[in-house]
Amino acid sequence: WAKAAGRGQWAVYDPERSARDIARSALVAGLPAALDRGEFVLHYQPIVSLLEGSMLAVEALVRWEHPELGLIGPDRFIGLAEETGLIVRLGEWVLRQACHDAERWWREFPDARLVVSVNLAARQADDPTIVETVADALHTSGLPADLLQLELTESAVMGSADEPLRSLYRLAALGVRLAVDDFGTGYSNLAYLRRLPIHCLKLAGPFVEGIRADNAADHRDERIVDALVRLAHALELWVTAEAVETGEQAERLRALRCDTGQGRFFGAPAPAGVITARLRGDVSV
């Protein structure tokens, strides 16, 4: 009878919905074992100087090499890992692996001083042990603190209380860099910018997407980027534009004085070996 109620009104049984729920709960159930079996891998995406074209940093982006489903992107499991709390363990693995890889790059290519940028979920940043975990990851790997950047979203920066997370001051005191990820898409007020030891703002993809010639009639995204870059520079912060897909966008962003860019135009996320080859000066990658 549920079917007779018409499309979109299936109160009793919705095969599509339940298939999705089953797939979702199968993924959730598989996460802890996947971590134990070492099925997660890090890909790295270059963050490039818009002025000089040199690779200054790489962002660590986690992927799941699922034995049956193949490579699964973080959009499909990070949310689940946050809900279940597994993000704290997964995030710690990401942090340690990223520090380990970055220390190798630092040893092999000391002049490049390549920074590794690691995403911190709100739940991780909120965890009371985060400062010791980061300090230990640095100590164990031997990576200099200033070659590690931590990316937090605006809501993670603000935490659950109405003030910036206390642990961020202690993280900054370790000497690591702090970046605000997806800047301009959250709902938080900007008060934290007055007080927090932040080093970099990462401008969210949608603003960058609006920068193109066929959008000439509407310069709003360009004006927003212009204003945000000025705001960042007035506060002595670096600016990274995310999701740079074309040379034209890179050129416009450079004209707007944006410092660095990240996106397919400069290189897609790739295994560590691809970054090593780039540092070696292999232009074919």
Q: Which residues bind ligand C2E (CB under 6 A)?
A: 45, 61-62, 73-75, 78, 91, 94, 119, 121, 151, 181-182, 205, 242-243, 245, 263-264, 269
Shortest spacing between CB 89 and ligand C2E, in angstroms:
12
Distance CA 248, CA 267 (A): 15
Query: Looking at beta carbons only, is 108 or 251 nearer to ligand C2E?
Result: 251
- 30 or 63, CB closer to ligand C2E? 63
- Least separation, in Å, of the C-beta of 1 and Mg ion? 40
CA separation for the pair 257, 167 (Å, rounded): 31
∠181-185-157 over CA atoms, to 5°?
Answer: 45
Per the DSSP assignment, residues forming a β-bridge with 155 are none
Give per-residue burial for 113-149: e unless 16+ CB within 10 Å, then b: ebbbbbbbbbbbbbbeebbebbeebbeebebebebbb
| H or E segment to which residue 138 belongs | helix 130-141
Minimum gap (Å) between residue 116 Cβ and ligand C2E: 11
- Read off the DSSP letter of residue 243: -
Q: Which does 78 bind (CB under 5 to 8 A by kind): ligand C2E, Mg ion, none?
A: ligand C2E
| 214 interacts with Mg ion by CB under 5 A | no
Residue with smaller CB distance to Mg ion, 68 or 75:
75
Work out how close the CB of 11 gets to ligand C2E at its nearest, in angstroms, rounded to a whole number: 34
Identify which of residues 2 and 69 has a Cβ nearer to Mg ion in the complex: 69
Which residue's entry shows tokens 């990851």? Answer: 137
Residue 151 or residue 259: which is nearer to Mg ion going by CB? 151
Q: Which partner, ligand C2E, Mg ion, none, binds residue 86 by CB below 5 to 8 Å per kind?
A: none
CA distance 233 to 32: 42
Cβ proximity to ligand C2E: between 74 and 210 the closer is 74
Number of H helices, E strands in the chain: 12, 10
Residue 210: what are its φ and ψ, rounded to 5°? -75, -5
Q: How far is the CB of 240 from Mg ion (least distance, A)?
A: 9
Query: What is the SS3 assignment for 262?
Result: coil
Residues 16-55 that bind Mg ion (CB under 5 A): none
Footprint of Mg ion on 153-182 (CB under 5 A): 181-182
- Residues that bind Mg ion in the complex, under the rule CB under 5 A: 73, 75, 119, 151, 181-182, 242
